[in-house]
Structures are given as C-alpha cells and as structure tokens.
Amino acid sequence: MANSERVAKLASWLWWVVALLIYALPVIYFVIIVILVRAPDWPQAVFPEARVEVRPDWITTGLVIVLAIVVALPVLHMLIEMRSLFGNYRRGDILTESSARHILGIGRAILSLAVLKVVVPAIQLMLLTSGHVLSFSLNDNFIVFTLAGGFLVTIGWAMREAAELAEENRGFV
Amino acid sequence: MEIVVRLDVMLARRKMRSRELADLIGITEQNISLLKSGKVKGIRFETLAAICAALDCQPGDLLEAVAEASD
C-alpha cells in the first residue's frame, strides 16, 4: 500500500473519531463539572491545598467553573484543527499550505494548554481561598505538553516550507 | 528576455504526436500540452534530456530566448 493511501485510510478513521469527540467532549466535561461541584466538599476534592473550611459562594463557584471551561477551549480548538487536518489528508491534500496551518494550530493549542494548566488552577485556588493561597505546580504534564506543542509548531513551520516547495515543484514538468 | 518552448516545431519536424512523445518519455499528455503552450514555471533536466533523446535533438532546438515585446 502506498504511503498516501495509508495516510488517507488512517486519516479517514481518525476524522470520524475526532468529529465524534468534538461533540462528546464538551458534554462529558460539563457532566464532570456538574458532578464535582454538587459534592459539598468539592473545593477540597479538586484542590487539596484549599482549607477545609472553604465554602465558596455562587459567584466564586461560577468563576471557577468558567476558568475550568477556559482550559477546555484549547482542547476543543485542537480537535477542530485535527478534524480539518484529517479531512485534508483523506482528500489527499497532504503537502499543502492548509495542512501545514492546521498542524501549526494543533501545536499552538497544545502550547496554550500547557500554560493554562499551570496558570488556571493557581487562579482558581486563589479565588477559592479569597487570595490567601497561591500555588503553582509544574508537573510532568507541563513538560510533555510543552514539548509536544513545541514539536508540532516546529513541524508545522517545516511543513509550510515543504508545502511551498511542493507548490513550486508542481509548476515544473 | 523570455524563454519560448519550440516543442511543437520539433514534434512537427519529427512527425510525432504529443501522445506518442508522452508515452515515450513517461509524462502525461496534459504536461506535454502545458509545456508546448509555455504554461509551466520550468522544465526538469531529466524531462528535457528525455525529450531530446526521443526527438533526437539538442536542448537549443527546443528552447529559444527571445526579447520581450515592449508595450
């Protein structure tokens, strides 16, 4: 099987998976948030650094939920970019400017996620503790997301270069 | 100065059809047509060598540099 056929076949499957996730993920995320927030001691369950007596009002709870949704936005953006990329691949548009742009978009989304995963929990904890606790944690997820995002951004730039060369080559007989 | 492709002249001299040349050198007839009309950015040395071999000619018989007409 030729490489382009293999890419088209796999991309076709992945397109469906990603298309399904685009609709399923927000619903799953919403359900998880609702289940978490309904528990009486949810601040302590989500943020072990929060003091036991923390009982957030509805405004604080709302803000914490909004921030949790903000973290999900790059994931959604990444899935949308992936769907477009796999759509291009299954049509056979591999070395094109459009595909390179989508790879770049996926990389940027993962980089944003790496940053938001550090910043947002710190802000949420600060809100829950009325500004008494500020805690940043850099874990292995941050390193993995940063490396993966940086890798994809680099690949995206390289693909853009390759797409320009391919476009130039298409003019040659 | 612009480069004009004289492939149609050589094909007529050798009494060969575009399709025949395309089959001989292994490129599509559409590309031969694009080459004849000069609607290509360039020609690979590999293609040029194959055309020269098929038509028994030199690159200079196929390509000609002409002065661009001024408006």
- pLDDT at residue A3 tops 90: no
Name every residue in B having a CB less than 8 A away from some CB of A: 27, 31, 34-35, 40-44, 47
Q: Nearest chain B Cα to A173, which residue?
A: B43
Into how many domains does chain B fold? 1
A32-49: b (≥16 Cβ within 10 Å) or e: ebeeebeeeebbbebbee
Is residue B71 in a domain? Answer: no
> CATH no. for residue B53?
1.10.260.40
| Distance (Å) of CA A80 to CA A19, A71, A97, B8 | 8, 15, 17, 50
Tens digit of each residue's pLDDT (9 = 90 or more) over A24-69: 999 999 898 888 888 877 877 777 776 666 777 888 888 988 999 9
Residues in A touching B28 (Cβ below 8 Å): none
Is residue B22 in a domain? Answer: yes
- pLDDT at residue B69 tops 80: no
Bridge partners, residue B4, by sequence: B64
Rounded CA-CA distance B61/B27 in Å is: 20
Q: Which of A10-14, A54-58, A151-155, B21-25 has the lowest mean pLDDT?
A: A54-58
Rounded CA-CA distance B69/B46 in Å is: 31
Q: Which range marks the domain in which residue B16 is found?
A: 2-66
Tens digit of each residue's pLDDT (9 = 90 or more) over A133-167: 777 878 888 999 999 999 999 999 999 999 999 88
Q: Average the pLDDT over B15-44 and give the result.
A: 91
